[in-house]
Amino acid sequence: MPTKHRIYTMPVANVYPYYVSKAEKKGRTKAEVDAILCWLTGYTPKGLAQQLKAKTDFETFFAKAPKMNPKRKLVTGVVCGVRVEDIKEPTMREIRYLDKLVDELAKGKAMEKILRET
C-alpha cells in the first residue's frame, strides 16, 4: 500500500497563513481567502475558525467538510505543474482545487468568477 502524501497529515492551520500572505501580497484580503475556503467546503466562518484552531489535518478537513461545493468541479487549470482536473486521488484533488482558487485570487480575478457565480 502506498504511503500517504505528507500534506494529508499536515494541519490546514499550518498552510493557511501562506494562503493569506499570498493573497495579501497582491492586495487581496484574509476575508476573501476565508470566503473561498467556506465556499469550497461548506464550513461556516465559525466552523472554519474551529477547524484552524483544532489544527485539523487536510485529509480530515476535507473528509468532514459539511458540504463540498459541486461547482468546484468547474475549477480547471494547472497547479504545481499538474492539471487539477486530471488528479485522480480525491483528497489531493480537493487540496489542489483550494490551491488553484487561491492562485486565482492572487492573480486579481473577481470573486464572482473565482466562486463560479458567472
pLDDT of residue 6: 87
The string of DSSP letters for the chain reads -PPPPGGGGSBHHHHHHHHHHHHHHTT--HHHHHHHHHHHH---HHHHHHHHHTT-BHHHHHHT-S---GGGGG--SEETTEEGGG--SHHHHHHHHHHHHHHHHHTT--HHHHTT--
pLDDT of residue 4: 73
Verdict on whether the full-model pTM lies above 0.85: yes
What confidence tens digit (pLDDT) does each residue in 11-59 have? 999 999 999 999 999 999 999 999 999 999 999 999 999 999 999 999 9
